Homo-oligomer: A and B are copies of this chain.
Amino acid sequence: MKYSNKEEFEKVNIFGTGVPNEKFEKYFIGNSFLNFLVEPGKTPIFLANVTFEPGCRNNWHIHQAESGGGQMLICTAGEGWYQEEGKKAVSLKEGSIVNIPAGVKHWHGAKADSWFSHISVEIPGVACSNEWLEPVNDEEYNNL
């Protein structure tokens, strides 16, 4: 369900908006927010809720790994998009699940007219790193 109003969205964003995602802001268009759901290193899998303001999306990127790795998204509130290179963007809403294998170039983010949150599930692997690439083209995004 779409939420253009932040206060209304916060009521359904049950995993929390958290704090401005300053560490990664250079890889995003628009403002995103990060809420750690577990302490890094304390659980076998790291979970964080990522919130995107309307129009916000991350740049194209690849989860690199020698083995394993990648990410799963558990969409928790609002509406957004996920796109793999060479494929049509997939519409996401609360309840949607996305599996992002290591090595696949992709981006994700909010719809232009809605806040959006997903839990990021970091898949364990060997020598995992993020390769950040170019921003998602405005014209392509605005035509979604």
Contact = CB atoms under 8 A, between A and B. Distances in A.
Interface in A66-82: 68, 70, 72, 74, 76
A86 interface: no
How many identical chains are in the complex? Answer: 2
A45 B14 contact: no
Interface of A: 14-16, 37-38, 42-45, 47, 68, 70, 72, 74, 76, 94-95, 97, 99, 119, 121, 123-124
Given A37-B74, A74-B119, 16 more contacts: A14-B94, A14-B95, A15-B95, A16-B95, A38-B97, A42-B99, A43-B72, A44-B70, A44-B123, A45-B45, A45-B121, A45-B123, A47-B74, A74-B74, A121-B121, A124-B124
18 contacts: A14-B76, A14-B94, A14-B95, A15-B95, A37-B74, A37-B97, A38-B97, A38-B99, A43-B72, A43-B99, A44-B68, A44-B72, A44-B99, A45-B121, A45-B123, A47-B72, A47-B74, A121-B121
